[in-house]
A = this chain, B = another copy of it.
């Protein structure tokens, strides 16, 4: 009893410390005199500084946590620093600096702008920058030549008109999805270079030299970027995409299992969870339950990764021309599965509960179906991760179909049982109403919904299996060797 009276104070103290900018107010009376006010304002100043400091502290703490969790990102930052240090050597070395006519600045700029997180994105931007500059430079010089032969009065008109028309057209091309996906940056660089060349051509006489320097500095910058990004712990967009799909599939599988386990768990389990050991377990379950969410909004990431992956050379187990588009199909099928799991999650969380004996009766079939769907997803994830055609997939699909049939039969048998019990009831006139065996349709609604969603999820999992087979065919996954199959089976036993 003693502690309970102290707890609020302790909590208030803690709040005073933890709440940025809102400290030491609660326990004091409102100040009235000027002196009080001054003291208060200076206190507020300290508080707001404390709050700011804490805000910055919190920000740094989160940043540090991120850095520890994702060392690859830290490595990327170091790589950018390295590439910039290397390119700035151009300034310190006289011969290099003079070699590019003092425009080493463009090389620095190229490095800053082109260096991206993944190799594919860096390559994409490099190629776009080089191509855009070259095309616009050539076109700009052509226009400049035409304009210079058109007389002094017409020259600025032609130049201005060409800038207007080409900038408008190139900007429009950036809205077209197919161009946007691959050449967005190139189109921007095209506009930039064309404007610079055609406009500055009016003043700078050494246009050819300028173009030459510009191209060579860009070549230096991009090649430096490409070498750094590919040599120093490279992050491949293709591998990232591969891993995203894999992780999502794994999480979906866990989520499905957790969902069904949560629904059919005994009431006793709840009591067990109240204990300390159970809390961690509960947190793990909640994490697994919401695992499907990662797949819901991954479309944009997947698409951009697939776009960048196309630019990458062969790396690891991926050849150039690896069918990255197939991953998008797998991703889409996973997403459609995730939508269904979302609905399943909702009906599990709903207030309407089915009677316990019915749940127990169905538990076996539902758990079996969800187990076989999630096992299939896991198997597909392993197959993608190992890039091997699994010999067990067909068998597992068949198993899943059987589980669907069994669940459907269970629903049928339930109706037969029910008929029997309601038949009895009809003849017994009323007394049976209190019997636990008699259920109304409203009570089985949640159960039927869960069952039919599970059947739908099984159908969608089959689609996932089909898309994975499509990927395996196009990417020419090798068939698993007999040894590997044996090894797997022995692990299973």
Main secondary structure of the interface of A (DSSP, over half): helix
Set B82, B195, B339, B342: member contacting A88, Cβ < 8 A: B195
A81 within 8 A of B: yes
Q: A109-B196, A442-B408 are in contact. Are A172 and B92 (CB under 8 A)?
A: no
Taking CB as reference atom, which chain B residue is nearest A164?
B81
A165 within 8 Å of B (CB atoms):
yes
Query: Which of A172, A342, A412, A418 is most buried by chain B, counting CB atoms within 10 A of its CB?
Result: A172
> Does B172 contact A74, Cβ atoms closer than 8 Å?
yes
Copies of this chain present: 2
- Which chain B residues border A200 with CB–CB below 8 Å? 91, 105
- Whether A346 sits at the interface, judged by CB under 8 Å, is yes
CB of A202 within 8 Å of the partner chain: yes
Report if A46 contacts B (CB, 8 A).
Answer: no
- Segment of A15-23, A273-281, A380-388, A443-451 engaged in the interface with chain B: A443-451
Tell me whether B73 and A175 are in contact (CB under 8 A): yes
Task: Judge if A199 is at the interface, Cβ distance under 8 Å.
Answer: yes
Write out the residue numbers on chain B whose beta carbons fall within 8 Å of the beta carbon of A164: 81-82, 84-85
6 interchain pairs, CB-CB under 8 A: A112-B167, A113-B188, A418-B422, A419-B422, A424-B426, A445-B451
5 smallest beta-carbon distances between A and B, as pairs: A423-B426, A415-B441, A343-B343, A81-B168, A81-B164
- Complex contacts, A419 vs chain B, CB 8 Å: 422, 425-426
- Report B-chain residues with C-beta under 8 Å of the C-beta of A442: 408, 411-412, 415
A156 is an interface residue with CB less than 8 A from chain B:
yes
Given contacts A77-B167, A415-B440, A444-B448, 4 further A-B contacts (CB under 8 A): A80-B171, A84-B163, A423-B427, A449-B453
A12 contacts the other chain (CB 8 A) = no
Chain B: which residue is nearest A87 at the CB level?
B195
Of the candidates B62, B77, B84, B343, the one whose C-beta lies within 8 Å of that of A339 is: B343
Interchain CB contact (< 8 A) of A188 among B76, B112, B343, B451:
B112
User: B452 near A347 (CB under 8 angstroms)?
Assistant: yes
> Are A441 and B411 closer than 8 Å at their CB atoms?
yes
User: How far, in angstroms, from A113 to B190 measured CA to CA in the complex?
Assistant: 11
Q: Could you tell me the distance between the alpha carbons of A237 and B424 in the complex, rounded to whole angstroms?
A: 67
A 135-165 contacts with B by CB, 8 A: 156, 159-160, 163-165
Encode contact with B along A107-138: 1 for CB under 8 Å, 0 otherwise. 01100110000000000000000000000000
Q: Which residues of B contact A448 (CB under 8 A)?
A: 441, 444-445, 448-449, 452
Q: Does A156 contact B80, Cβ atoms closer than 8 Å?
A: no
Q: Would you call A299 an interface residue if the criterion is a C-beta within 8 Å of the partner chain's C-beta atoms?
A: yes
Q: Chain B residues with Cβ under 8 A from A195's Cβ?
A: 84, 88, 108, 112
Q: With A91-B203, A176-B63 in contact, is A84–B167 under 8 Å at CB?
A: yes
Q: Which residues of chain B have C-beta atoms less than 8 A from A475's C-beta? A: none
Interface string of A404-417 (1 = CB under 8 A from B): 00001001101110
